Structure 1
Amino acid sequence: MKLRMNHHKANPAAYKAMSGLEQFIRDSGLDHELYEWIKLRASQINNCSFCIDMHAKDLLKMGVSAEKIMLLTAWHEAPHFTSQERAVLELTECATKLSEAGVPKDVYDRVREHFDEKQFVDLIMAINVINSWNRLGVSTGMYPGAFS
């Protein structure tokens, strides 16, 4: 594999803007582990190997079991996820695949059982940020170890 370009160096202003969005989410009060689940699931959907590798490792460092991480693609059938995590994973899938069906009202309602309006917007912003990182990563040919 060969990295197409280093987007950090090619356009530092764009990288700074993305980093600002990332910092916004980190400062939002969103649970850090929940944010990592959002990042990993969206990255799986978008086939961003660089981000899948990074966020799976981040979850492991946080003490999440390898078993739970491996079951993320089948979270619908795995008993390892809380109702809050399930609602967020479903929202992540809908918002990442937005053109397929949008965000149905029942998904919105399930998320709102756990999160207020501000937190809902924070979740959407978190999903937006990782989808943007994935698009940068995939488009520039990033892969695990690309910058090592």
Structure 2
Amino acid sequence: MEKRINVFAKGQGAMKAIYGLATYLSKSNLEESLLNLVYFRVSQVNGCCYCLDMHSKDLRARGEAEQRLYLMNAWREAPCYSDRERAAFAWAEAVTKIAGGHVPDEIYQEAIKQFSDEELIDLTLAVITINSYNRINIAFPNKVGDYQPAKFAAHQ
């Protein structure tokens, strides 16, 4: 692959806007573990290797069971996810896979059972944010494997 622009070095002004979203979300009422699981799932859907590497390391560093990461692609059948997590994954997938139109009513109904209005808005913003990161990393690939969880804190 031809060497691409390092958007994190050359696009600092543009990236500052996305970092602002991440900072906002870090202060939301959504659990950090749930946010990272959503980031991991959306990155699976989008095929973003860099973000999968990053969020799997962040999750493991914060004590997430590896089995839950291994089963994420089959979250609907796996018994290890809570109803809140399942609602978040369904919501995240529906907001990510937009070719079908609006989020289906049944997914919305399950989401509002599990999340307050503010939490659902923040969850939607989290999905939008990780989709943005995924698309940046797909357009301008970073070297995969070098990410260390402690480095993420420097951007906050």
TM-score with structure 1 length normalisation? 0.94
The 8 Å contact of residues 3 and 142 in structure 1, kept in 2 or not, is answered as: no
State the partner residue of 2:17. Answer: 17
1:60 to 1:147, Cα distance in 2 relative to 1, 3 A: closer
Identity %: 33
State the partner residue of 1:142. Answer: 142
State the partner residue of 2:87. Answer: 87
The 8 Å contact of residues 3 and 146 in structure 1, kept in 2 or not, is answered as: no
State the partner residue of 1:120. Answer: 120
State the partner residue of 1:48. Answer: 48
- CA shift at 1:30, angstroms? 1.2
Gaps of 5+ in 2: 149-156
The 8 Å contact of residues 87 and 110 in structure 1, kept in 2 or not, is answered as: yes
For 1:78 and 1:58, locate their aligned partners in 2 and report how far apart those are by CA, in whole Å: 21
Runs (4+) of structure 1 moved beyond 3 Å? Answer: 145-148
Q: What SS does the aligned partner of 1:33 have?
A: helix
Task: Give me the CA root mean square deviation.
Answer: 1.7
- Bigger mean CA deviation after superposition, 23-32 or 137-146: 137-146
State the partner residue of 1:111. Answer: 111
For 1:120 and 1:94, locate their aligned partners in 2 and report how far apart those are by CA, in whole Å: 13
Deviations for 1:111-139, whole angstroms, at most 9, x for unmatched residues? 11111111110000000000000000010
Letter in 1 for 2:8: H
- Bigger mean CA deviation after superposition, 6-15 or 122-131: 6-15
- CA shift at 1:28, angstroms? 1.4
Q: What SS does the aligned partner of 2:81 have?
A: coil
Q: What SS does the aligned partner of 2:58 have?
A: helix
Q: What SS does the aligned partner of 1:113 have?
A: helix
Gaps of 5+ in 1: none
For 1:63 and 1:12, locate their aligned partners in 2 and report how far apart those are by CA, in whole Å: 31
1:104 to 1:14, Cα distance in 2 relative to 1, 3 A: same
The 8 Å contact of residues 53 and 145 in structure 2, kept in 1 or not, is answered as: no
TM-score with structure 2 length normalisation? 0.89
For 1:146 and 1:82, locate their aligned partners in 2 and report how far apart those are by CA, in whole Å: 31
The 8 Å contact of residues 39 and 127 in structure 2, kept in 1 or not, is answered as: yes
Quick check: 1:63 aligned with 2:63?
Answer: yes
Deviations for 1:33-85, whole angstroms, at most 9, x for unmatched residues? 00001100000011100000110111111111111110000001100100000
- CA shift at 1:100, angstroms? 2.3
- Bigger mean CA deviation after superposition, 98-107 or 109-118: 98-107
